[in-house]
Amino acid sequence: MAHLFIFGLGYTAKRIKSKLEEQGWSVSATGSDGDIDFDDRGAVMNTIAKSSHVLSSVPPDRKAGADPVLEAYGKELRGRALYYLSSTGVYGDQQGAWVDEASPTGTGRRNARSDADAAWMEMGARVFRLPGIYGPGRSALDRVREGKARRIDLPGQVFSRVHVEDIASGVTASLTQDAPPGAYNLGDDLPASGNAVTEYACRLLGVEPPPMQTLEEANLSEMALGFYSENRRVANGKAKRVLGWELKYPTYVEGLSALL
């Protein structure tokens, strides 16, 4: 029986686990909702030994600048079928231009993530570069309902995003088909401004959109300001070609409508 070991059973990894278990896989995981303690070296090494596939969704330590999984268990993982959830942040700011898996990485604000992405690539992993993730309990609909939605006056600013269920289907396709190692962008078909998504969520909920603000008026956190400092469109053609990936929610319109 195929057995997947997941480092970090978070929001997205839970969907991957559920999808694979529906297909008869056995899944073990670390994390607060997992069944294995990351620091229990004996248990982790025993589980790695019996696993046919290993997936990490653990982000790098931004202060230490290292990947915790590779730091602790990199030697044990060499030669195994590896999968890693990365970020399209590795492409940095492209002033709205399109990027694909052949585009340069390591030029953005997230150096630790770029380094981890490169390290997993060197290990021969399938690396999934993910843009903004949304889904149940984590979408523009929730931000509007909670009064946390914003519209920022930045003409030409666009982001890519992807529904969590589409990430799960893409990663599952890679796992079940033994896809070749390398990078895969898992983003939807319509990069769009955050304002457009917020406005559509407001229309669905029948409320007025929040007022337009400048970056200064919005008084954003340092992390949020960094998010708005980058502008790019992420191409997803490779995942479609190589994995046969089909998006259930090709744009935020279908995704938010289904969430409502």
Residue with token string 């303690």 = 37
HSE at residue 43, side-chain half, CA atoms within 13 A, is 11
**Which residue, chain included where needed, has tokens 């008026």?**
217
Residue 149 burial (CB < 10 Å; 0-12/13-18/19+)? buried
pLDDT digits (tens, 9 = 90+) for 52-98: 999 999 999 877 778 999 999 999 999 999 999 999 999 999 999 99
Q: How far apart are CA 182 and CA 103, in angstroms?
A: 13
Residues 6 or more apart whose CB falls under 8 angstroms from that of 103 comprise 91, 94
Q: Note the pLDDT of residue 63.
A: 76
Q: Which amino acid is at 112?
A: A
Three-state DSSP state, 103: coil
φ/ψ (deg, to 5) at 233:
-115, 130
What confidence score (pLDDT) does residue 176 get? 95
At 190 the pLDDT is 98
| pLDDT value, residue 230 | 92
pLDDT at 1 over 80: no
Residue 109 has pLDDT above 80, yes or no: no
> For 3-259, which CATH superfamily applies?
NAD(P)-binding Rossmann-like Domain (3.40.50.720)
Tens digit of each residue's pLDDT (9 = 90 or more) over 123-166: 999 999 999 999 999 999 999 999 999 999 999 999 999 999 99
Instruction: Please state, in angstroms and rounded to a whole number, the distance separating the CA atoms of residues 37 and 31.
Output: 7
Asked if the model's pLDDT at residue 110 lies above 70, the reply is no
Across-strand partners of 184?
Answer: 128
Place of tokens 């396709």: 173
The residues spanned by each domain of the chain are 3-259
Q: What global pTM score does this model have? A: 0.96
What is the rounded CA–CA span in Å between residue 126 and residue 117?
Answer: 10
- Does the pLDDT at position 6 exceed 80? yes
